[in-house]
Amino acid sequence: MDLVRKESAAGYFYPKEEEALRREVESLLKAAKTPPLPGVRGVLAPHAGYAYSGKVAAESFRALSAWRGQAKRVILLGPSHFVPFWGVAFYPYRAWRTPLGEVAVDLEGGRRLLRRGFPFLELEEPFLEEHSLEVLLPFLQVALPGVPILPLLFGEVDPLRVAEALLEELLPTDLLVASSDLSHYHPDPVARERDRRTLEAALSLEAEALAQAEACGRLPWASLTALARELSWKPRLLAYATSAEASGDRSRVVGYAALAYGPGARALVSQHGMPQSGL
């Protein structure tokens, strides 16, 4: 059977028309302040609607664009928002579809992980309506065209155990993308203070603390952080924002951040800066 995962978030999180989507993604990447960073091996990117988090996500994918024509695979790590389960899910779709076309899936890599047994399991239901990985794909299709993906969705799982398994799977031409928003639905000053503490843990490579943080993708993010720590990758904060910057509503916001990890990603805070309480 020729399995292709159909888009579910088009028209909601991002434009459903091909040309409109391509124009928006290209515009966001062009406006990003981060240059392509050849030393980067992994990034954190948010997964809200492009109107809210697209500018922040673009910073991560602009950094990864240094790998255009060189990357062989992108391993995607995202949270399951709607279907609870134990472990990390993979499903053998041949490809994922967006309005920009199909993105091939690394079936052999997925099968290797499934052969390891728990926490990896073959499960389709969490993928059907999930947006946390889908919304990243148009950025990948523009920034790194033709690169296959290994999409993994996290339920409840020990992120350090996942990181240990991925360490054995990771190749020098692989990139990692973890998908997470930060705090949800606090007043803007409260959100910024909570996000500041979360980002301090991330920039200190404290994977265990990050696994307890207020972030919907805290477990995928913690796995990326644990891998970075093991491989001596350094984190860099590329951008931070809250939804108030797009909506104007400061009473109930969501936080977004972009981070880069790699031996060439110095532990610097960019001009976007750490979120400050009360701003």
Q: Where do the domains of the chain lie, and which CATH numbers do they carry?
A: 4-262 (3.40.830.10)
Span 47-54, average pLDDT? 96
Instruction: List, in sequence order, the alpha helices (H) in the chain.
Output: 18-31, 50-64, 107-115, 125-128, 137-143, 159-169, 188-203, 207-210, 218-230, 244-247
**Is it the case that residue 279 has pLDDT exceeding 80?**
no
**Is it the case that residue 203 has pLDDT exceeding 80?**
yes
Q: Provide the pLDDT confidence category of residue 2 given band limits of 50, 70 and 90.
A: confident
pLDDT, tens digit (0-9, with 9 covering 90-100), for 105-124: 999 999 999 999 999 999 99
Q: What is the mean pLDDT of the chain?
A: 94
**Is it the case that residue 44 has pLDDT exceeding 80?**
yes
Q: Give the whole-angstrom CA distance, residue 214 versus residue 157.
A: 16
pLDDT, tens digit (0-9, with 9 covering 90-100), for 210-253: 999 999 999 999 999 999 999 999 999 999 999 999 899 999 99
Facing residues of 101 across strands?
Answer: 98
Cis status of the peptide bond prior to 220, with omega within 30 of 0: no
Q: Provide the pLDDT confidence category of residue 1 given band limits of 50, 70 and 90.
A: low
Whose CA is closest to 127, among 176, 90, 85, 162?
Answer: 90
**Around 76, how many Cα atoms within 13 Å sit in the side-chain half-sphere?**
33
Q: Give the whole-angstrom CA distance, residue 126 versus residue 216.
A: 15
Contact between 51 and 11 under an 8 Å Cβ cutoff? The reply is no
Instruction: List, in sequence order, the alpha helices (H) in 66-187.
Output: 107-115, 125-128, 137-143, 159-169
| Token digits of residue 202 | 């991330």
**Is it the case that residue 277 has pLDDT exceeding 50?**
no
Q: Give the whole-angstrom CA distance, residue 138 versus residue 10.
A: 10
Predicted structure pTM score? 0.94
As a dihedral over the C-alpha atoms of residue 136, residue 142, residue 123, residue 93, rounded to 10 degrees, the angle is 170
**Is it the case that residue 197 has pLDDT exceeding 90?**
yes
Percent of the chain with pLDDT over 70: 94
pLDDT, tens digit (0-9, with 9 covering 90-100), for 140-191: 999 999 999 999 999 999 999 999 999 999 999 999 999 999 999 999 999 9
Q: Give the whole-angstrom CA distance, residue 274 versus residue 129.
A: 33
Say what the pLDDT of residue 270 is.
43
**Is it the case that residue 274 has pLDDT exceeding 60?**
no
Say what the pLDDT of residue 264 is.
65
